[in-house]
A and B are shown apart, each in its own frame.
Chain A
Amino acid sequence: MAYDKFTVLQSTAVPLPIENVDTDQIIPARFLKATERKGFGDNLFRDWRYNNDDTPKQDFVLNNPIYSGKILVGGKNFGSGSSREHAAWAIYDYGFRCVISSFFADIFKGNSLNIGILPVTVSEAFLDKIFKAIEADPKTELEVNLPEQKVTILATGESEGFDINGYKKHNLMNGFDDIDYLQDMKTEIAAFAEKSIY
């Protein structure tokens, strides 16, 4: 599945200062029954977002109109739990292109990169600054600059660098994915498979 290229993103952000946000919260299992990748955004954070009777929970951040944007800012250990890529699909489908946290679960991070969401790991101190800035002014804009590997709080100019490997960076900036890469390697793979004892 191709995705939009990612270079520089300037946007307001939605704060979710909770630790250990797991993939069962991002998209509960009962919404995994689709056989197509469509409409997952509607059920993003379903049980935090809606009451049992499907009325919105007023105190949840996605239901608060003062917060919006293409960046989701989450607490430490974001995306723990299941390997369901549906969690990343739901975040993408809802309209986010970037998630910022001080710590990501491995599988979630890999899934995000594979579908065109940029997971940005910042220090706890900088994450705290971002949360405070948004709390003080929900219209605070952040700039996520992939070529320069830097996040900036635009109002104050404070910024921090982030890591990403060169290969993934190149992919995201060009909208390529691993499947394209592996298709080009098939002869090499077949030669390798020849030697396999299994």
Chain B
Amino acid sequence: MSTNPTTLFDKVWDAHVVRKIEDGPDVLFIDRHFIHEVTSPVAFLGIENRGIGVMYPQRTFATADHNTPTINQHLPVADPLSAKQLAALSSNAEKYGISIWALGSPKNGIVHVVGPENGITQPGMTIVCGDSHTSTHGAFGSIAFGIGTSEVEMVLSSQCIMQPKPKKMRITVNGKLGKGVLPKDVALYIIAQITASGATGYFVEYAGEVFENMTMEGRMTVCNMSIESGARGGMIAPDETTFNYIKGREKAPKGEDWDKALAYWKTLKTDADAQFDSELSFNGADIEPQITYGTNPGLGTGITRKIPKASEVKDGEASYKKSLAYMDFREDENIIGKKIDYVFLGSCTNGRIEDFRAFASIVKGKKKADNITAWLVPGSHIVEAQIKEEGILDILTEAGFELRQPGCSACLAMNDDKIPAGKYAVSTSNRNFEGRQGPGARTLLASPYVAAAVAVTGVVTDPRELIEEEAAV
């Protein structure tokens, strides 16, 4: 028997290679495929035009999320183009026998929230979806990544895609996180250190105490943001935290199947001497609450820091200046104290129950700042129900906030939730590109704590100041 030490990534990848093409990609079998209304219609058209069917409809799950309204979901969708996309998703799902959680279903929500929530996502799987933040599912020790529409068509018609095997990177973070530091800060910190293209060509494994001590939701936030450093995806070895999270969920294996699966899942870890193409390590204690100031997720820093000078950043000087001009920020300015107009809590990055708990813990007993418009958007109907059950909604309402209905919302601003041109938004989502949250909108990415601190003060505020107050009470 070969005792070649291998990585977690190799184990999962190699177990899914149907065929290796010489001087070409691997043909990779896909266990789970998620689809949504935006990137699937053209794939279904392709299948129709070629006269080929869906090979394993039971391996695909559909949900409507990118383009759905976040108020009055019981009414017909007003925008005719959005309505048409949603109708196409439903009719394609019906035609090919694919399970769908359409708008209005109690299981509906953002694709990367509902997959794990219902136990569809499991360790050791290959998972794809026509959305780059599919990397979220890597939190369970699966290989999960975003694909284009041609690949959606491939998976539908053959349950396979063709991919060259990426290189492997391990990012280790040991130590303890400081007060007020959330998984989102860990993710933003790593991206700021390695830049928005620092992991391009790699698949990342996150290792070390910081991730071992994280909840599944925290791990999902970190893996979700992998793509923002250019990585194809990120994964974390499954452990008791993972197994406890999955057990009992609707689509999780039961009885004997569970025991069998568990025995296999426990083998999914990187061997001691396995080699990575690149290894990085950071110290958890160095991470403070983060915020971005530029127009890619790599342009972020500790919230108490100043905006760097062009000479200090790795992006080209011209690109950096363009970025600051778009934000109307200047080099060497403080970020703390900047006036903000919008706060967005939500998305597949930070739209889960723990994110709402974190947000509520800061706004509790305070009032929303008058200059702030706040959009609080749960990642799914299940999260929404939990917010109500746990009394979080009462805390939010008392502080002057309203809850919207689940969906991607202002993460990509395909629906009506667009930040107006020139306005500043502190967002818990994942991208701060020019116009991402609406044409001309200016986005600062941050954690739910930072978003909450901004929501009650109206300016960029270090959340640790407010947490201290809490503790003193």
Contact = CB atoms under 8 A, between A and B. Distances in A.
Nearest to A182: B158
Contacts of B67: 33
Q: What is the size category of the interface that chain B forms with chain A?
A: 35 or more
A123 B296 CA distance: 23
Interface in B12-29: 18-19, 21-25, 27, 29
Given A83-B132, A179-B154, A35 B439 contact: no
A37 B85 CA distance: 13
Nearest to A33: B81
Interface in B134-180: 134, 146-151, 153-154, 157-164, 166
A114 interface: yes
Contact of A106 (B27, B150, B166): B166
Given A22-B433, A83-B147, A189 B160 contact: yes
Contact of B147 (A107, A115, A166): A107
The secondary-structure label for the interface of chain B is loop
Contacts of B324: none
A1 B157 CA distance: 14
Interface stretch (A7-15, A65-73, A144-152, A190-198): A190-198
Given A20-B296, A24-B434, A34-B81, A105 B197 contact: yes
A149 B159 CA distance: 32
A77 B27 contact: no
Interface residues of A, number: 57
Interface in B58-95: 66-67, 79, 81-82, 84-85, 88
Contact of A182 (B22, B66, B157, B435): B157
B136 to A, nearest CB: 13
Interface of A: 1, 17-20, 22, 24-25, 28-30, 32-37, 47, 52, 75-77, 80-86, 88, 103, 105-107, 110-111, 114-115, 165-168, 177-179, 181-183, 185-186, 188-189, 192-193, 196-198
Given A36-B42, A36-B45, 11 more contacts: A34-B42, A35-B41, A83-B39, A86-B149, A106-B230, A114-B151, A177-B150, A178-B162, A179-B154, A185-B158, A189-B160
